[in-house]
Amino acid sequence: MRVTSPHAHGPLSTAEVMRAVLIASLPGIVALTHFFGFGVLVNILWACLVALGCEALALALRKRPIGFYLNDASALVTATLLAIAMPPGSPWWLILVGVAFSILIAKHLYGGLGYNPFNPAMVGYVVLLISFPVEMTAWLTPAGVEATNTPGILAALQACFAPDTIDAITMATPLDLLRQNNSLLLEDLWLQTPQYGRWAGIGWEWANIGFLIGGLWLLYRRIFTWHAPVAMLTSLALMSAIFFDGGSSASGGSPLFHMLSGGTMFGAFFIVTDPVTSAVSNHGRLVYGALIGLLIFLIRVWGNYPDAVAFSVLLMNFAAPFIDYYTQPKTYGHGGSEG
């Protein structure tokens, strides 16, 4: 057969990359399940089913071989990431709408894997947040607060598929409270808040640490480079350090708080690193990550939404080609070190 060189190939394949991402999200999922109940798992499983169904539908309509494309696990990754971002105990139709929008519109309408300019999971999340703000901000009370019983499997399934029959007890997240606060010193605020854990919200801090572990493992496996996540975390920490005045009522929260709250670690290692929608060169990724971190802080503290990872990422997805244009690496022989 006539084939072009090279004839040897490295060990990595797209399916393996996707599988590695899924495995890396496990520690975070475990932490979330522990603190918020099995609703997380039900979310994920239902989202995965819907995702596979939507992807199969889209592939059939586009006349592609379904088995081959489903095998690359990219739909599963999108579904898992979206499900993690949604409140546990979300109704089944909420997840359906979100996942269907992500897969069908934000991914396949643009041409399928590799062709979408915007992160599909984040597009789905934002659509849901804007269309169903009440359901999307109904976070359950985490375990460890007072005498909460996190839902068991059956309760979780019921919450998902028969939502009207359950009365969930929800509670504002620490980020919500921080935003609404304008009178108390932060230390006092946290003393008052039962859902404040050691460094940030109960459950949230451990979930973030879980995602951090997963992300470090992905770095070790060289699934992505350190530039984007490190830039994002650094810039977020820097911004919050600059504007942290010791915890006054107008303060935006300490750097540690921001690091371990909401979707910070999850965003840093699973959303910002999405290769399809980020900048192309390593220098570009530094800029991309840094600006995301900046935007997250700005929107969290002065914007209308408590958590801002999704919006920041989508805004920077817009800017990625522009960043690419200005951050081309210096090619060999073009003004590199010439002795």
Partner 1 sequence: MRKVWDFHGGIHPAENKYQSLHTPIRQAGIPAQLTYPLSQHIGAPAKPIVEVGQQVLKGEMIARADGFVSVPVHASTSGTIVAIEERMVAHPSGLPAPCIVLESDGRDQWVELRGIDDYHQLDKPALLEIIRQAGIAGMGGAGFPAAVKLGVNPQAGKIETLVINGTECEPYITADDILMRERADEIIGGTRILQHLVEPTETLLGIEDNKPEAIAALLAAAQGTDVEIVVIPTKYPSGGERQLIEILSGKQVPSGGLPANIGVVCLNIGTALAIYRAVTHGEPLISRITTVTGEALEQPQNFEVLLGSPMRFLLDQAGFQAERSTRLVMGGPMMGFTVMDDEAPIVNTTNCLLAPTETELPPPSPTQACIRCGLCADACPASLLPQQLYWFAVGKEYEKLENHKLFDCIECGACSFVCPSSIPLVQYYRASKAEVLQARKDLAKSDHARLRYEARDERLERESLEKEAKRKARKEAAEERARQAAAAGNEAEADPIQAAIDRARAKKAAAQQAASDQPPTGETPPADAAQLAIAKAMAARATNSGQSPLEKAEAKLKRLRERLANSETKLQQSQAADADDTIINALQSALEKLRPKLAEAERELASLQEQNEA
Partner 2 sequence: MYELIAQYPFLAALVALVGMGLCFGALLGFAAEKFKTEGNPISEQINAILPQTQCGQCGYPGCRPYSDAIASGDAAINRCPPGGEATIAQLAILLDVEAIPLDEEHGEEEQAAIVAYIREDECIGCTKCILACPVDAILGAAKQMHTVIVSECTGCDLCVEPCPVDCIDLLSEETTVQSWHWDLPPPTIIATDRESSLADEEKAA
Using the minimum distance from each CB to partner 1, give the nearer residue, 227 or 300. Answer: 227
Cα–Cα distances (Å) from 37 to 25, 31, 76, 90, in that order, read 17, 10, 21, 12
Q: Which of 313, 231, 223, 301 is nearest to 267 (CA)?
A: 313
CA-based torsion, 42, 47, 48, 53: positive or negative: positive
Taking the C-alpha atoms of residue 162 and residue 260, their distance in angstroms, rounded to an integer, is 33
Q: Token pair for residue 86?
A: 């949604």
Stretch that binds partner 1, among 170-178, 220-228, 247-255, 299-307 (CB under 8 A): 220-228
**Is 220 a residue that touches partner 1 (CB under 8 A)?**
no
Could you say which of partner 2, partner 1, none residue 329 binds, taking C-beta under 5 to 8 angstroms by partner kind? Answer: partner 1
> In a 10 Å sphere around its CB, with 0-12 CB exposed, 13-18 middle and 19+ buried, how is residue 283 labelled?
middle
**Is 242 a residue that touches partner 1 (CB under 8 A)?**
no
Strand-pair partners of 170: 140
**Is 183 a residue that touches partner 2 (CB under 8 A)?**
no
Could you say which of partner 2, partner 1, none residue 67 binds, taking C-beta under 5 to 8 angstroms by partner kind? Answer: none
Neighbours of 27 (CB within 10 A): 19
Taking the C-alpha atoms of residue 141 and residue 18, their distance in angstroms, rounded to an integer, is 32
**Is 115 a residue that touches partner 1 (CB under 8 A)?**
yes
State the minimum distance, in angstroms, from the CB of residue 45 to partner 1. Answer: 25
Single residue of 7, 9, 63, 334 touching partner 2 by CB under 8 A: 63
Could you say which of partner 1, partner 2, none residue 114 binds, taking C-beta under 5 to 8 angstroms by partner kind? Answer: partner 1
**Is 122 a residue that touches partner 1 (CB under 8 A)?**
no
Q: Which of residues 11-70 bind partner 1 (CB under 8 A)?
A: 12-14, 16-17, 68
CB-based contact 36:72 (threshold 8 Å): no
Single residue of 52, 94, 99, 113 touching partner 1 by CB under 8 A: 113
Q: Token pair for residue 151?
A: 């839902």
Strand-pair partners of 196: 201
**Is 65 a residue that touches partner 2 (CB under 8 A)?**
yes
205: left (phi > 0), else alpha (psi -120 to 50), else beta? alpha
Single residue of 1, 9, 68, 338 touching partner 2 by CB under 8 A: 68
Using the minimum distance from each CB to partner 1, give the nearer residue, 54 or 95. Answer: 54
Single residue of 56, 132, 281, 294 touching partner 1 by CB under 8 A: 281
Whether cis (ω within 30° of 0) applies to the bond prior to 6 is: yes
Could you say which of partner 2, partner 1, none residue 63 binds, taking C-beta under 5 to 8 angstroms by partner kind? Answer: partner 2
Q: Which of 219, 233, 291 is nearest to 264 (CA)?
A: 233
**Is 337 a residue that touches partner 1 (CB under 8 A)?**
yes
Q: Which of 175, 21, 148, 130 is nearest to 89 (CA)?
A: 148
Stretch that binds partner 1, among 4-12, 28-36, 181-189, 210-218 (CB under 8 A): 4-12
The residue ranges that bind partner 1 (CB under 8 A) are 1-10, 12-14, 16-17, 68, 72, 74, 112-115, 222-225, 275-278, 280-282, 285, 324, 328-334, 336-339
Q: Which residue ranges make up the site for partner 2 (CB under 8 A)? A: 4, 63-65, 68-69
